[in-house]
Structure 1
Amino acid sequence: MLEQMGGVSGLIYSTVPVIVFVPVNSIWGLIPAMIAALVVAVAVFAIRLIRHEPLSPAISGLIGVAICVFIAHRVGNAKGYFLFGIWTTLVYAIVFVASIIVRWPLVGVAWNLINGEGMAWRKHRRTLLAYDIATAFWALVFFARYLTQSELYDHDQTGWLAVTRIAMGWPLTALSVLATVLLVRWATREEHVDEAREERELS
């Protein structure tokens, strides 16, 4: 799952445009800040291309920065740069919660699709519970990001928006991935125990 995000380097790369955008805006204004963020995003894309790293995260990152810059330009304020990310986290949180409600927790679906293991895990109660908890953990992280950043946005705290975006970005993502791995390992172990028990009963 971490690889799908571009690995650790991808998570770090995603913070660079934000780190550049805020101080440039403070010193030279919005237009130079937007240009600087786009230049940095293109540079990150070029670096990943030269180093033959996965391009999907770099492309999505470049598109994301372009959208953020466009919104900032339309809003006419530096805080608009963060609006897309704020609403995106809310959408993610809602989708993750909805997947638990309909009994198709997204962590379980994604994990088993990536590993090509099908959807038999849904028949195991404890396995399903583990994926529910992992999915709920991600939803909680997204909700926390949304509530914190939307409050700062409403109070025009652009600098703190950058700080919280970084502080609640890759560190919390890494924590979520760790929690997911631990829960999935437990779920897999429980699933194998159930399968072994069923085989013994049938024999």
Structure 2
Amino acid sequence: MKFFRRTLVAASLCAATLLILLSPASALADDSWWESGWSVIGFGGVLTTNKSSDIWLHGELGLSDDRLFGVGVSKRLVGITDDLDLEFEQQAVKHFEGQDNWEFNSIFMLRWKTFPWDSFIDTSFAAGDGLSIASETPKLESDRYGKNESSALLNFVLVEFAFALPDYPGPELVMRMQHRSGAFGLINNTSDASTAFTWGIRYRF
């Protein structure tokens, strides 16, 4: 019951935040806001065999047999400053080889858009957090940590760099780290679950 209560609270907070941001009563919800700031992305990548802490703190990196391909649709919600945007992205991801489940990820992202070299390569950096729901408990996560510390529903963290040509800002090359975890044990007593490195092409319109 504790797991379901925590899951319900997390899902409710995400849903409430999105409803507030998209509320017709908000100044954001006019026609010009709705018609601009969209993008679509296609990406592929591979899951690692390491915990995220081992990757970032100890430089250990091994690649699993699992391959993934996904698509995403995102929307710019609001410009916090001239340099910083808040976005929302919804992903659908299919895993192959090591495991064969689907994964659906809903992420709020903060995007920093200004770098000194933007006149040569237009660069942005984004970091986001949200929820990840798999069609079943992923096999790699279950094999690694056991069923008692695995879950189909987990927290989702994304870190991204995107690059575009200044004269052609529509298409972007995207490099991402995507990570599923239990948010330090908040969800199903899971700490670390899986980390993937992905590459893709996004088009903004």
Per the TM superposition, whether the score is higher than 0.5 is no
Question: How does the TM-score come out when normalised to structure 2?
Answer: 0.26
* Higher Cα radius of gyration: 1
Higher helix content, 1 or 2: 1
